[in-house]
Amino acid sequence: MKFPDPLIRGTLERRYKRFMADVTLENGDTVVAHCANSGSMLSVKEPGSEVWISPARNPDRKLKYTWELIRCGRSLVGVNTAHPNALVADAIENGKISELTGADTVRREVKYGKNSRIDVLLETDGKLTYVEVKNVTLSREKGLAEFPDSVTARGAKHLQELSDMVAEGHRAVMMYLVQRQDCTSFSVAADIDPVYAEALKTAKAAGVEALCYSCKLSKTEIKIDKPLPINL
């Protein structure tokens, strides 16, 4: 995924009201950027950090910028949760995720379950594969990516719905997309949300598959890189 317009460098002043961030640009101006991330953003919201924002393409949008990247140590981290579904769908279509190759059709945001939408739905020779995607930015220990960064009842609900799809005879995959390049493994942050951690174990026992891939990030593009081992 290439950014359609050049990103603008700045310094993070604060993230607040969940969906807003004050960013000081290199010319000294401070702007309000949309923060497309509903999580706690633990470990990726430190004031004073180097960040990059994108200009809004819609001239009528209230907030004229969107927060895209933050530098954490030597790694860029993608904080915009609007991107992972498209990144995964594109990688599947281009054969970059070996566990999910060969699909005849790849669809996004398809209704299923109890008033939900699956992030990516694959159909191969008439068989369906349901793929739920979660954006991962949390890293509290060197080399370790974690999810979630806050309690997520919605995430536990998605795991149950994936289990329901397996019970109906379909394939279901929980995909964790690590939008950072300084991690070598993935685990669930059970201390943050023990209910979610237990829900994942239950879902795996029911036949739901879990995959994790990292990303390569630059100021011009984000692309899926390689699989990471999952430690539960």
- Digit-coded pLDDT (tens) for 104-150: 999 999 999 878 899 999 999 999 999 999 999 999 999 999 999 99
Structure tokens at 33: 């950027």
| CATH 3.40.1350.60 assigned to 84-231 | yes
Model confidence over 31-51: pLDDT tens digits? 999 999 999 999 999 999 999
Phi-psi region of 109 (alpha: psi -120 to 50; beta: other; left: phi over 0): left
Other beta carbons within 10 Å of 84: 24
**Would you kindly state where each structural domain of the chain is located, as residue ranges?**
8-78, 84-231
C-alpha distances (whole Å) from 131 to each of 42, 78, 189 are: 25, 21, 21
Distance from CA of residue 34 to its chain's centroid? 17
The C-alpha angle 100, 104, 108, rounded to 5 degrees, equals: 70
Give the separation between CA 175 and CA 86, rounded to whole angstroms. Answer: 13
The pTM of this model reads 0.95
- Residue 56: its pLDDT value, please? 94
Secondary structure (3-state) at 230: strand
| CATH 3.10.20.30 assigned to 8-78 | no
Give the separation between CA 192 and CA 218, rounded to whole angstroms. Answer: 30
